[in-house]
Amino acid sequence: MAPPTPPRASPEPAALAAALRLEAQRLGFDPVGIAAVPGGANLALRNAALERWLQAGYQGGMAWMADPRRRSVETLLPGVRSLLAVGLPYYVAAQRQPGSLLVARYGWGRDYHRVIDSRLRRIGRWLEAQVPGCRWRACVDSAPLLDKAWAEEAGLGWIGKHGNLIHRGRGSWLLIGHLLTTVNLPADQPAEPLCGSCSRCIEACPTGAIREPFVVDARRCLAYHTIENRDALLPGAIASALHGWVAGCDICQDVCPWNQRPLPSSTDPDLQPRPWLLDLRPEQALGWSDAEWDGRLRASSLRRIRPWMWRRNLLAAVDGRGIDP
């Protein structure tokens, strides 16, 4: 009788980390970084900033931001030792048609939650094959995780004054995902902030939503109101400031110097824009039935905006009127 086959030795941590990065890059993620849990001093500062933000009420109606699990990654995966942070660059060099209403770039392609989650799960299964018995969990921004802070900790980029993550070569057009794992991996250096004295995003916001550097008041944010606000009418100050934005807002990113330089245009099939989002006309869209909206928004992150909300936003963007608070 042949002796039992001895268990395969786990790869050396540095080699495993390098192979893990390559696997993530193969699936379209760039940049990629690794952070050690529980993280360093900067992460503790980000947690404290979250508490101040919540106490000020800047979350508006987003009650889920107060989920206590957001403050402790260990509650999402007991025994977690490392975190793989990935960025999916979504900049596409496509042009909106003249006169089109405006939709934030992140919503042009397929629902990024599904795209990132499915790819992270493939990485998780790959990791489990390398280290049998390890555990992992894929997280997109719908998970109660301080995602931008962990991406900063893993070296993907720094959190800009507009609250978005910025990478030297990709700007702030990055969708973020994380893979938590019980495998102990060598960590990358946290990113250093490079906004300097620039305040373009603060000055460009039409409603003053960026109350101070790094502090965004959702109650004043066009993106929050066009996506999350479930009231029948938008506040008057928001409606009068839309200037064509009906689903999200990219103003603070459009003016960022890190987005002004030539950027690589994504060729990822899942990120290519749906043509109707680049040529959205109110005279047509206001006539679409709920079923037509449902068909156009299939597998889109913009499905969160209900058909009646699209009509509300369209009307507000056209006539600039809402309801005064």
As annotated, the active-site residues are 141
96, 117 contact by CB (below 8 A): no
* DSSP helix/strand/coil, 214: coil
Beta strands per DSSP E along the chain: 32-36, 82-89, 102-103, 136-139, 158-159, 165-166, 174-181, 210-212, 215-216, 245-247
* Angstrom distance (rounded) from CA 323 to CA 317: 13
How many residues in total does the chain contain? 325
Left, alpha or beta for 273 (phi > 0: left; psi -120 to 50: alpha)?
beta
DSSP codes of every residue in 42-80? HHHHHHHHHHHHHHTTTTTT-GGGG-GGGG-GGGTSTT-
Q: Which SS3 state, helix, strand or coil, does residue 200 take?
A: helix
- Please measure the distance between the N-terminal and C-terminal CA atoms of the chain and give it in whole angstroms: 82
Question: 270, 241, 265, 273: which is closest to 108 by C-alpha?
Answer: 273
- The encoded tokens of residue 237 equal 């100050």
Say if residues 296 and 108 touch (Cβ distance below 8 Å).
no
Sign of CA pseudo-dihedral 20, 24, 25, 27: positive
Structure tokens at 46: 């980000």
